[in-house]
């Protein structure tokens, strides 16, 4: 049990004294970057899904299902 207490104390010390936390402005900027990247990725995947659906539908129509 002493090892667990030591682990908790060391983890706390690291979080409080050694970790460099971003400023509020940095946090907002990186959040916006992540959201923009997420939207772009979502649109690319949607476009690929839409195009593959249309291509497969056209192919099935040509081959007569």
Domain layout of the chain by residue ranges: 22-65
Distance CA 50, CA 65 (A): 19
CA trace torsion 55, 57, 62, 65 (10° rounding)? 140
Q: Which are the contacts of 22, defined by CB distance < 8 A and separation ≥ 6?
A: 30
**Which tokens hold the place of 21?**
């936390």
pLDDT (tens digit, 0 to 9) for every residue of the chain, 65 residues total? 788 989 999 999 999 999 999 999 999 999 999 999 999 999 999 999 999 999 999 999 999 86
* Residue-level pLDDT at 26: 97
Distance CA 3, CA 56 (A): 60
* Residue-level pLDDT at 65: 63
* Residue-level pLDDT at 1: 79
* Residue-level pLDDT at 63: 92
């Amino acid at each position: 049990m002493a090892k667990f207490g030591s682990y908790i104390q060391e983890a706390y010390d690291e979080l409080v004294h050694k970790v460099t936390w971003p400023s509020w402005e940095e946090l907002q900027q990186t959040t916006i970057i992540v959201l923009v990247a997420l939207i772009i990725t979502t649109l690319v995947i949607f476009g690929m899904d839409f195009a593959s659906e249309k291509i497969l539908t056209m192919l099935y129509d040509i081959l007569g299902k």
